[in-house]
Structure 1
Amino acid sequence: MAESVSDTIQNIIATVTRVDTDEFDGDTHFQDDLDVASLQIVEIAELTMQEVDGVVEIPDDDLVELETVADFTAYVEERAEPKAAN
């Protein structure tokens, strides 16, 4: 079974931040809790665009508004292409 968009995003965040997925949740702030630098959030966005179908761009203006893991996940899920039913 394919990963959900949420799982994919959590794995990307864990990879970039080197923080285990068990150590953050939707309420986790990128800067306040994970100490994510601006280059890291850009890397998270770029990897998300590569891994999630339908997400071709995350403008910088939007990116600065996405403060928590839940904000980012909801933003991406709104833009992701739904998987075809088998």
Structure 2
Amino acid sequence: RADFGKPIYINSGYRSPEHNKKVGGAVNSYHVKGQAADIRPRHGKDFEAELRRLKIIANRRCKGGVGFYPSFVHVDLGPERRWNG
């Protein structure tokens, strides 16, 4: 948030195992452990540019997992890894 300089919205944080299965989450999802969040910038005219900037910041600052998706960034406290979803 400090690096981004604007509010960051959380699409998904903790998920129960039932909800995680319902939304197609990974079996060993860090969401179920309370160690992950799917984040995004505010929706608006600059959404795509701000999402790109958020992806760069997450990639640089997050020591765990970072997944890049068309409308959000997944961050977690697992081992360091990167992927596109």
- Same-fold call, TM cutoff 0.5: no
| TM-score band w.r.t. shorter chain | 0.3 to 0.5
The structure where strand makes up a greater share of residues is: 2
Which of the pair has the greater relative contact order for Cα pairs under 8 Å at 6+ separation?
Answer: 1
TM-score for both structures, normalised by structure 2: 0.38
